[in-house]
Amino acid sequence: MDLKSNHSSPVLADSVPVSKPRLGLSSNLVPYSPPAPTYPPGLYLSIPRRKVTTGKFDDIRESAWLDAMVASSPTCKKLNKDFGHESSKDEADTTYSIWLMKFPSALSSLDQIKYNANGKKIALFLDYDGTLSPIVDNPDFAVMSPAMRAAVGNVAKCFPTAIISGRSRDKVYEFVGLRELYYAGSHGMDIMGPVRESLPVNDHPNCIRSTDKQGKKVNLFQPASEFLPMINEVFRSLVESTKGIDGAKVENNKFCVSVHYRLVDLKNWAEVACCVENILKGYPRLRLTHGRKVLEIRPVIDWNKGRAVEFLLESLGLSYSDDVLPIYVGDDRTDEDAFKVLREGNRGFGILVSSKPKETNAFYSLRDPYEVMSFLKSLVKWKKSTSLGG
């Protein structure tokens, strides 16, 4: 198989916004009505043509790459500037408070959330890094606190709960270690979900029956499985090409590769970008996305965390039902795909975890993983009180 040619997979497009009314939440309770996002019909989306450069540092400096790297690693100063403010602490607080009017805290909006959830079945989707564990310098040490693990375990006893991460599925399972959850790794390109006997497995190509570590029957969905050799090749090349850049770290996330520059001196960021761009030039079926001080290389397929949410809802028998309220909590740009799916489908809502103002398709916000934990605990408390007839 020619893995470098561009002939088979659905070609993906970075999203283009459209509008739809929101049915899932009563309009007077919805905090924010954005200009409606739209997708063109059909699966085949178009991706902007990659700017052809010679892959030299000067090209990188002139290209949008470096801007995007800086933009995805916002300092307080930059964000405040974006929102038209200078960067004193007081002004940053004021800017955040103004932003909170548009994206209210999920903790302060608990009554509203409970009102919307009343009589509905909540399905919970959680991102990992920056949501359940704080962002740390070394991705290998992004462990989850025991208190957070207990909170996630408890919420999973009350509601179907899935983790959807950019990490490999095995890695995120290693960090979380809770059996009662569903796990999707590689930005949703590696999903281990429940088996629904009523649904034929071949409803989805690339979906197979398998067993999990405990021997339970599961569905394993890997829409990018044909890219595995290519991703491994790219991982090896990037390890080699970045090895001279102090602080750069390449992570193999199975169906995608992350190139971290959090510990790289700012003056060498262009060098990191240059290595990635040089490799990408040889792989037209791979594309780049930006995360938090990380460049991520992934297959050009029409699949993302939003599609993973839809897939899991279907596997759980929770799609197409007005009685279901999906909630997605995440902090990253890649989580926006999931926020968008919920917003456009008028079913449920996203909660952005951010201590800085950001444009988002989420409805609500939480400042940090600590607030995420409080929110999860509140959901459990509420569920228990309603089960007891409270």
Ligand X SMILES: O=P(O)(O)OC[C@H]1O[C@H](O[C@H]2O[C@H](CO)[C@@H](O)[C@H](O)[C@H]2O)[C@H](O)[C@@H](O)[C@@H]1O
Q: Which residues of 7-43 are buried (b: 16+ CB within 10 A; e: fewer)?
A: eebebbbebeeeeeebebbeeeebbeeeeeeeeeeee
Which residues from 61-80 bind ligand X, rule CB under 6 A?
Answer: none
Which residues from 282-321 bind ligand X, rule CB under 6 A?
Answer: 291-294, 296
Closest by CA to 14, choosing from 253, 301, 280, is 301
Binder to ligand X among 136, 147, 208, 266 (CB under 6 A)?
A: 136
**Residue 142 contacts ligand X per CB under 6 A:** yes
**Residue 36 contacts ligand X per CB under 6 A:** no
**Residue 369 contacts ligand X per CB under 6 A:** no
**Least gap, CB of 341 to ligand X (angstroms):** 15
Angle between helices 146-158 and 369-387 (to 10 degrees): 30
Given the complex with ligand X, which of 109 and 365 has the nearer CB atom? 365
Which residues from 80-109 bind ligand X, rule CB under 6 A?
Answer: none
Give the residue closest to ligand X by C-beta.
166
Sign of CA dihedral 330, 350, 15, 72: negative
Binder to ligand X among 130, 160, 306, 369 (CB under 6 A)?
A: 130
Dig out the tokens for 307 from the structure. 């599609």
Per CB under 6 A, the segment of 1-9, 128-136, 191-199, 210-218 that binds ligand X is 128-136
**Residue 338 contacts ligand X per CB under 6 A:** no
Q: Are strands 294-299 and 190-194 parallel, antiparallel or unpaired?
A: unpaired
CA angle 116, 118, 124 (to 5 degrees): 75
Answer yes or no: are the C-beta atoms of 284 and 6 closer than 8 Å: yes
Q: Are strands 121-126 and 286-291 parallel, antiparallel or unpaired?
A: unpaired
**Least gap, CB of 19 to ligand X (angstroms):** 27
**Residue 167 contacts ligand X per CB under 6 A:** yes
Per CB under 6 A, the segment of 21-29, 203-211, 239-247, 257-265 that binds ligand X is 257-265
Answer yes or no: are the C-beta atoms of 277 and 53 closer than 8 Å: yes
Binder to ligand X among 129, 190, 271, 277 (CB under 6 A)?
A: 129
Given the complex with ligand X, which of 155 and 176 has the nearer CB atom? 176
Alpha-carbon Rg for the chain, nearest whole angstrom, is 21
**Residue 15 contacts ligand X per CB under 6 A:** no
Which residues would be at the binding site for ligand X (CB under 6 A)?
Answer: 127-130, 135-137, 139, 142, 165-167, 251, 253, 258, 260, 262, 291-294, 296, 332, 334
